[in-house]
Amino acid sequence: MVTPQFFDPEELEILRSVVRSEFQFVDLGANVGAYSIFVSRLAGPDARILAIEPQDTMLARLRENIALNGLNIRIAAVAVTDREEVAEFAVDLNNFGYTSLNLNRRGRGERRVMRLPVRKLLGLVKEHGFERIDALKADIEGAEDLALIPFMEEAPPVNGGVKTGHRGGVTLGQLM
């Protein structure tokens, strides 16, 4: 069961204020899909939602939550950084949502190392048919700059050169 209403109430309220039909949302570090499911339920079947989650245990839970809710959410089973390759990640076995590129980062307990595909965000969203991103949530354990700086530098400008989301001018930075 996913209960997004209990987590991040301020962020969810911002999303609630801008989500509409045909909304395009990227959930970077989707975990079990709380944000993706929240947006999908608000925006309806015409929304385009991409949930990005590389960690196998969380990915299985994400897929199950999407299926149980009967939602049309695309999934990318990759990590996102500033390059395209296969990289090693440390997975905390006591907190499967805590997966890091930093193999020396201390978690709550035992860890295992996984090799995961890594993609750049711009290529990934283009591959999934996005022409724009109305909102993006990023929670990738301290690697947000590795994913978002190249994206902001490489993505084509919109609205006269300012990279924004919703027609009202909500910037991606306001939603992170």
Digit-coded pLDDT (tens) for 121-144: 999 999 999 989 999 999 887 788
3-state secondary structure of 84: coil
Number of H helices and E strands in the chain, helices first, is 5, 8
Q: How far apart are CA 6 and CA 34, in angstroms?
A: 10
Residues 6+ apart with CB under 8 A from 148: 121, 138, 172
Show the tokens assigned to 55. Answer: 């960690």
pLDDT per residue, tens digit, the chain (176 aa), is 455 556 788 889 999 999 999 999 999 999 999 999 999 999 999 999 999 999 888 899 999 999 999 999 999 999 999 999 998 877 777 665 566 655 555 555 677 788 889 999 999 999 999 989 999 999 887 788 989 999 999 988 765 444 444 444 334 443 33
DSSP 87-116: EEEEEETT-TT-EES-TT---SS-EEEEEE
Q: How far apart are CA 157 and CA 126, in angstroms?
A: 15
Strand 135-138 with 111-120, pairing: unpaired
- CATH superfamily to which 19-84+118-175 belongs: Vaccinia Virus protein VP39 (3.40.50.150)
